[in-house]
Each structure stands twice: as C-alpha cells, then as structure tokens.
Structure 1
Amino acid sequence: MTATRPHVTVVGDVGLDVLAVLGGPVAVGQDTRARITSVPGGAGGNTAAWLADHDLDVSLIARVGDDEAGRTATTELSAMGVDCRFARDPELPTCCVVVIVTPDGDRTMFADRGANSAFCVDDVDLPVLAAPGHLHVSGYVLLDDGSRAAGLAALDRARAAGWTTSVDPQASVHIADLGGAVFLDWIRGVDLLLPNDSELAALGGADAALAAVGTVVVTHGRDGASWLSPDERISVAAPRSHDSDSTGAGDAFNAGLLSTRLRGGSARESLTAGVAAGTAAAQHVGARPRRP
C-alpha cells in the first residue's frame, strides 16, 4: 500500500440500467405506478466512477456493443476521468439491466450482460505503470462461462506485475449454483475479498474465505461492515438513513474502502470510509456519483 496517488484498474461490466422506482407494492398481473429512468450502470463502470470521484487514477477494462449505449458509456466515464479500455463487440449489444426499486430502497435486477458475456483474454489490456497498481475484479466477470477466462487472466497478470488485488463476488445466487469452494479456488491469493453477508454465506463462511484470500471485508447492508483478517476483526456501524435506491451502494463502498486503504489508511479508517460512501450512494436514485 502507498500514501501517494494510487492507480486502480477495474475489470467489470459496463452497461445501462433501466430503473423502475415503485410507488407501492407490486400488483401482480395488474398495473403498478412507477417512476422510470435510464441511467449508466454495470458493476465495473459504477466502481470506476466512484473511484474517480475519490480522486484516484482509474482505468476500466470492459467490452461494450458497437452501439449508442456503448458510445455513451465511454463518453460519460471518460468525462469523469476514467481511462476507458473498451473492446467493441460487432454483434452483441451493450449490457442492459432492469432494476426494480421498492419503496424501502431494496432492488431486484434482471440482467442481460450482452457484450460483457463475450469479454475475452485478448480484451485484457492492463496499463503500464511506473509503480505497481491495484486490480479490482467484478465477480460477474468470473461467474459467466464466457468471460471467466479473461477475469482470471487479469488477476494472473496483475499478480505477476506485483499489483495488489481485490474481488467483489457480486451474486450469491450464482455462487451457490456454482459452489463456493470452486469460486474461492479461482481467486486464491487475492488480497481483498469484498462480499456481502449472503455472498459470504454462499462461499462457505469467513473461515473458508480466509483460507483462500488475505482479508475479507463483508458488508451488512444497513448494519455497516466488518473487516476480517488473521490479525484484525473490526466492525463499523452505518448511520441511520432511509435508502432511496441501494443500486450501486456496494460499488461505492468498494471505492471508498479502496481509496482510503491504498493511500495508507488503517483497516478501521478504510472500513469507515467504505461505509460512509455506500450509505451516501444509497441516498439518491442511480448507481453512479451525482454530477453537476
């Protein structure tokens, strides 16, 4: 870790979120009033945007469609200062996710990964840096048969270059289908694993995860987060708040945590920064930082 301005490279999905914020309970088979908007999304794009918002140097490696959504995603992220290293798929469209947000801020997602599912080893273009950087990989890349090899190649190349690494597992249902032990074997040796409670349970619990990675930082939703390592066990509570939309809150947490840790912050300082960032992100609709 370093106290100088760090460089983080993110490998993950980039796409478009169609948000339906419900006005009340779903009337199955009937009409339900909702406020619907289209906003930039994708776990990789969200994390990169939040990292840039924390004033880090950020590169983002992903695959988008050769379409208007892909061009818009590139323009928006570049305007935020993100170095977009995007491959363009000539056939598959840019990822699109329909997000249903309930009145209490919880969300359910229906995802079409589109071009992200064809992300391949040839797309992995790590930047050449003067000093070792940090690689953050979204679990969606590893959980898809089509893109897994590219995600694993990125981790291998980063470790060979002396970089630190982190992985957010992202989807407990897919981990459970696959088997937690299999996923942990793929990411063995990673410095930071960033699951939520359900993802950690799907991986077999804290002891199983710590047998594979250096440190586990687990988020507890509205109850804060915990830092679990062989030497430290720390928990930080989240401030009381009403979530408007929890979409992207985990990505914001990751960015807050990494920005502090990579600048030399302690485990508690990093955890506190992550909780603050995730809580703030849940206070507005959309998965990215608000811009003037």
Structure 2
Amino acid sequence: MSKEAQQGRVVVVGSINTDLVAQTTHLPFPGETLGSVRFLQASGGKGANQAVAAARFGAHVSMVARVGDDENGDQRLEDLEAEGIDCSGITVTPERPTGLALITVSQGGQNTVVVVDGSNGELKPADVWRQEALFRDADVVVCQLETPAETTYASLQLARQLGKITILNPAPAIDPLPSEWLSLTDYLVVNEVEALILSDIPFESESDMGRAAQQLQRQGACNVIVTLGARGTYLLQEGGGGRLFLAPRVEAVDTTAAGDTFIGVLAAQLASRHTIAKSIERGQLAAAISVTRRGGQTSIPTRDEVED
C-alpha cells in the first residue's frame, strides 16, 4: 500500500472565512462596549479549519468551496495551498466577497462567533456534482452548515452514492435536521449546545448525554458523537452502547477551532482505517493542544505534535 493510500483521502465541503479575532477580558454583555486586549486577522471558516486539521494529521485533503475575487480570497487560497490542500474544487466568485467571521475571545478561553457568509452562500449543489471525481477518490466526506442547506444535502447524497464515509457537523445548528440528511450520515458530530437544539434534551448528567444521542439516532443518524469540551466526548455507536472518552487536562486560553480540530483529525483517522475509538482519542488530543494556543488555524497541531 502506498504512503498516500495509508494516509487516506478526505474531501471537505464547506466554508472559507477570514477570521477577525478580538481578545477581551470577558465576553461582552448585551449593550456593553469593550476594548480589545489583542486583535488578529487570520484564515478561518469551519470547512477550512477542518481541512487544515485533517491535512496536518497526514490526510490527502481536497476542498469544495467558494471564495470571493478579492484580497482575502487570494490569501485564503494561498494559505490552503501552503498546507498541501487540493484547491481545484474551490471556485472564485466575483459577485460576493470572501466570508468573514467576527470572533470575540475572553481571557478564560471562551468565544462567541458571528459569521458573514459572503461567497460561502453561493456554493451550490452544481459545484458539488462537478467535483464527482474528487468524491470518487475520497475515503471520507465532511460537511458543516456554513454553506447552503441544499449543498450539504447534495454532498451527503453524492458521498453515499459512491459508498464514502460521511461526517456531518451541523453547525450552526438548525432545528430540526431533515431526516433524509441523517439517513445519509455515518457520523453526526455535535457539541453540547447543538445536541440540545437538535434533540431538545437539556444536559445535566451523563445519562442526559445518552438520551440526547439516542434521540438523534432515532432521527436517523448512524453514529452520534457529542463533544463536551473539558469533560470529554460521548460516543453512541449504531447498534451498540454509549461510551464517554475523558479529555486530557489542559489550561485553555482560546477554544476557537477546537471542535474543528477534533473533526478534521477524526476524518483523517477514519480515512486511514483507524477504529472510531482511536480516532476519537487522537481527535481529543489534538483539540486539547489547540486550546492551549491562541487563534483558529494557527492553533491546530500537526500529527507529530499529537503523537510525541
């Protein structure tokens, strides 16, 4: 087996943004004006973050996405290509600017995010169908919800037709998720807030995690993964019991892109034919490293850093 085959191939259909990040003493209250302790501008977008995480973990990664015909778009493509990501499936969109994310990060590491979709909103099902060759070569296809819903559905349809492993990260969450999406999803990955929105079950104990995951499974998802931050990750496998994976203990300074790091590494591991348990454990280790660093894509570790 070639090195490339061992690494696995991942296609990410999703957003590409420029992140505008303001570090503050705390997250602002409604109506409050805060000064920024630190500001940075960087590459972002859930799709791009997940693609970078998978690539840094050794997968051969392709993106299907759109950027604007502007300076931000040029820079985002340059950044992705520098990561070794295949950008042949990315379309330049003259009529819309490259997407933006306005991020506030508190000194405790928590964040709020406002997304301006820009060119991400122009990604169409036709863009997906044109990239059938990329899907055909892939092992895993990853989708989120920062692009139009019909495009997500087309991606899951094409991936399933071609027999690929599918990962859906329904963020930002919409309620309810269409049942036809979930029936095409091998791994539904949600955080606590998304699980609450989608299952309408509040989290107070580990049993609530299980009930929420079971509800999402009843709605059609095969395997449900709930990321719980510092508390770990809960997995409910198809036809099996639930399991809680404890997270490594670290001191978080910025949780931006932690979830995307987890999903990208999960995809890379599954594409390389690792077990779901090992894939989750590696994803947690990578996410734990990322929260000890500031920034989004800049915080994502390489495989060597995780395995040291």
TM-score by length of 1: 0.89
Structure 1 partner of 2:251: 242
Q: Match for 1:99 among 103, 108, 112?
A: 103
CA drift at 1:289: 4.3
CA drift at 1:231: 1.6
Structure 2 partner of 1:259: 268
Bigger drift between 38-47 and 160-169 goes to 160-169
CA drift at 1:132: 5.1
Map 1:129-278 onto structure 2 (within 5 A).
133-141=139-147, 147-172=148-173, 175=174, 179-180=175-176, 182-204=177-199, 205-211=212-218, 212-229=220-237, 230-278=239-287
Bigger drift between 66-75 and 131-140 goes to 131-140
What letter matches 1:46 in structure 2?
Answer: N
Q: Match for 1:7 among 6, 9, 30?
A: 9
TM-score by length of 2: 0.84
Structure 2 partner of 1:144: none
Residue 132 of structure 1 contacts residue 161 of structure 1 at CA under 8 Å; is this kept in 2? Answer: no
CA drift at 1:274: 1.2
Q: Does the C-alpha gap of structure 1 residues 242 and 120 become closer, same or farther in structure 2, counting only changes over 3 Å?
A: same
Q: Which consecutive aligned stretches of 4+ in structure 1 deviate over 4 angstroms post-superposition?
A: 24-31, 128-132, 289-292
How big is each residue's C-alpha offset from its partner over 1:169-215, in whole Å with a ceiling of 9 and x where there is no partner? 1124xx2xxx22x4344332311101011111211121221121210
- Aligned length, in residue pairs: 280
The CA RMSD over aligned residues, in Å, is 2.2
SS of the aligned residue for 1:171 comes to coil
- Distance in 1 (CA, whole Å) between partners of 2:136 and 2:213 is 35
Q: Does the C-alpha gap of structure 1 residues 19 and 7 become closer, same or farther in structure 2, counting only changes over 3 Å?
A: same
1:34 and 2:37 matched? yes
In structure 2, the gaps of 5 or more residues are 200-211, 303-308
- Distance in 1 (CA, whole Å) between partners of 2:269 and 2:100 is 31
Q: Does the C-alpha gap of structure 1 residues 29 and 274 become closer, same or farther in structure 2, counting only changes over 3 Å?
A: closer
SS of the aligned residue for 2:97 comes to coil
In structure 1, the gaps of 5 or more residues are 142-146
- Distance in 1 (CA, whole Å) between partners of 2:21 and 2:196 is 28
CA drift at 1:272: 0.9
Structure 1 partner of 2:203: none
Q: Match for 1:17 among 8, 16, 19?
A: 19
What letter matches 2:197 in structure 1?
Answer: A
